[in-house]
A and B are shown apart, each in its own frame.
Chain A
Amino acid sequence: MSFEDHVGDAFAEPRARGGRAPDVFTPGGYVPMRQYDDDEEVDFAIVGTGAGGGTLLCRLAEKGFTAIGFDAGPFFRPLEDFASDETEQTKLYWTGNRIVEGNDWLIMGAKNSGRAVGGSTVHFAMVSLRFRPEWFKARSKMGYGADWPLDWREMWRYYEEAEQALAISGPIDYPWGPKRPRYPYRAHPVNAAGMVLARGAEALGMAWSPTPLATVSAPRGKSPPCVYRGFCRFGCSTNAKQSALIVWIPRAMAAGAEVRDLAMVGRIETDRRGLATGVHYRREGQWRFQRARNVVVAGYAVETPRLLLMSANDRFPDGLANSSGLVGKNLMTQPNQAVFGEVDEEIRWYKAPPSTTVTEHWNYDDNKDFHGGYCWMAQGPLPIEWATVLTGSRGLWGAALREEMTKYNHMVGVKMVGEAMADERNRVTLDEEKDDDGLPIARIHYAWTQNDEALIRHALDQMELSMKAAGVRNTFRQEQDANHLGGTARMGDDPRASVVDADCRSWDIGNLWVCDGSVFPTVGGVNPSLTIQAVALRTADRIEQLAKRGELCRRA
Chain B
Amino acid sequence: MSTYVFIAEALFFAFVILTFMGAVLAVRSRLLMHAVLGLAVCLLGVAGLYFYLGSIFLTMMQILIYVGAICILMVFGVMVGYTPQEIAESNFTGRNRFLAVAASFAGFFLLLIPVLRATFPVAAEKTGDFSLPWLGETLLYRYCLAFELISVVLLAAIIGAIILATGGRES
A and B: real partners?
Answer: no
